[in-house]
A = this chain, B = another copy of it.
Amino acid sequence: MTTTYQALERHFARLSSLRDASGILSWDKEVIMPHGAAERRGDVLATLAGLEHEMTVSAKTADLLDAAEALPAERLTPWQRTNLALMRRSYQQATALPGDLVEALTQATTRSEMAWREARENSDYAGYLPHLQEVLTLTQQTARARADALGLSPYDALLDTFDPGTRQSDIDPIFTQLQAQLPELIGSVLDRQAALPPALPLQGPFPTSRQEALGRSLMQQLGFNAARGRLDVSLHPFCGGATYDVRITTRYDESDFIPAMMGIIHETGHALYDQGLPAEWISQPVGQAGGMTLHESQSLIMEMQICRSRPFADWLAPVVQKGMNAPDTKAWQADNLHRHLTQVSPGFIRVDADEVTYPAHILLRYKLEKALISGDLALKDLPAAFNDGIHSLLGLKVPDDRRGCLQDIHWPEGLFGYFPCYALGAMAAAQLRAAACTQNPDILPSVARGDFTPLLTWLRTNVHSKASSAPLQDILKNATGAPLQADAFLTHIRRRYLDQAADA
């Protein structure tokens, strides 16, 4: 009898519908909601989240889980068994925290986020510190409660909420290797770049309508299914929406088309993953995307690995020149466009960083947030530690906390354990790209003709269709023959920026 299991699937399908509702309502809030509706929308989203939590921790869930787990294992398919295990995990995650702690943290992060916006504006770390302290203290309590329930260390318990199965012990060797090689590598890349004549400027302005049309045509080229998604504008670009309705956003700067174009490609990478999840499991835990690292690998394989490559630049240059109605001059040829796409420039702001210097920003945040959670670093000492780290990694002197430890929203929002996934995603993207191009040598020549089908087919087969049926490490090992590591990324950087390999 699998009716118990089927009842569980129906129960979790309803939870999936609630999340889809929240997904579209959150998208609406960022993109088109009239501003006077903000407070009420907050109530609606809180109600949906509350109902989802109540349904997850309900006696019904517990009873059905117990009954389904008592079934003989052979009555369930492997996907069903994994699904059941993920349902149990979801139940454990939801029941691990006492309700008053969840509520206290929600309220503290709401206050903290508002205070942070003003503090960042004024570069006022001292004034903001009490808010961050409150969030940190409650996050430490959260981490301990999760750790106790799941048998993990506190920091691993936080990591696990963003990237199921990833542990500090997976990250440390990778980040140690990066830490050892990155500063010197950055230096060599900058030297190499300085030896070249400067890139020719791409003269604007670039009307938003032209940028949008180019973005839409690139989305289509990459394989985005417009019948199951949208492109719109928002202040902070994101990929959101719902299953079967994947909505990406961007923002346009009429003086420079590259940020919006590469932003659309980045979010399209995320969207292709969501659109490629197996339809028959879409409403179940096992059918969800496999954590933040894998998700980021899918955006970065498009934005960084493929769409800043020289073969793609060859195809892209005439498309961009026509799309921007630009003259047929040297500045708009592939050589110069590729120079713009691969410009390296150490800076203070993480989200503006190129792919070479980006991991440095993460190495620092990872080190600092581990020390904050463990209590080894006091918040009053954070700015100095942050600024020291930037100086030693990038050789820059941080002028103020606005461009230092106050720049990111993650800690103010209580998202500790999230940052490392960005760099792990870059590692995974390089590793997947290398494996894909080895296994199918037609991928890059096709990209050079604007044809993403072979690449997308490989990603669909090796990543998207797996959803959460296996852990990140197993998906990577199966796809690339190796666990997650930094080698492919470091090789990629050397080949593209030092060797200037024709296929990099």
Contact with B along A20-38 (1 / 0, CB 8 A): 1100110010001111110
Residues of B within 8 A of A283 (CB): 43
Interface of A is mostly: helix
> Which residues of chain B are near A225, meaning CB under 8 Å?
36
Contact A25–B21 (Cβ < 8 Å): yes
Q: Does A339 count as interface, using CB distance less than 8 angstroms?
A: no
**Do B227 and A41 have beta carbons less than 8 Å apart?**
no
> Would A34 and B243 be within 8 Å (CB), given that A17-B43, A21-B44, A47-B14 are in contact?
no
The answer on a CB contact under 8 Å between B244 and A32 is: no
Q: Are A244 and B17 in contact (CB-based, < 8 A)?
A: no
Is A51 located at the chain interface by the 8 A CB criterion?
yes
A242 close to chain B: CB less than 8 A: yes
Interface centre among A44, A226, A228, A242 (most CB of B within 10 A): A44
Q: Which residues of B have CB within 8 Å of A228?
A: 34, 36-37
Given the interface pairs A37-B244, A41-B245, A245-B33, the reply to whether A17 lies near B230 with Cβ below 8 Å is no
In order of increasing CB-CB distance, the 5 nearest A-B pairs are A36-B227, A17-B47, A37-B245, A36-B228, A40-B244
Q: Assembly of this chain: how many copies?
A: 2
Q: Which residue of B lies closest to A229 (CB)?
A: B34
A25 contact set on B, CB distance < 8 A: 21, 24-25
Given A37-B228, A37-B244, A242-B40, residue A48 in contact with residue B21 (CB < 8 A): yes
Tell me the complex Cα distance, A368–B141, Å.
67
Residues of A within 8 A of B (CB): 13-14, 17-18, 20-21, 24-25, 28, 32-37, 39-41, 43-44, 46-48, 50-51, 225-230, 242-245, 282-283
* B34 and A245 contacting across the interface, CB-CB below 8 Å: yes
Given contacts A25-B21, A47-B14, contact A40 B245 (CB under 8 A): yes
CA gap between A230 and B31 in the complex, in Å: 13
**Do A48 and B227 contact each other (CB < 8 Å), given the known contacts A25-B24, A245-B41?**
no
B17 touches A48 (CB 8 A): yes
For A39, the chain B residues whose CB sits under 8 A away are 244
Q: Which of A20, A37, A242 has the most CB of B within 10 A?
A: A37
A174 to B268, CA, bound (A): 60
Q: Which residue of B lies closest to A17 (CB)?
A: B47
Q: Which residue of B lies closest to A48 (CB)?
A: B21
Residues of B within 8 A of A28 (CB): 24, 28
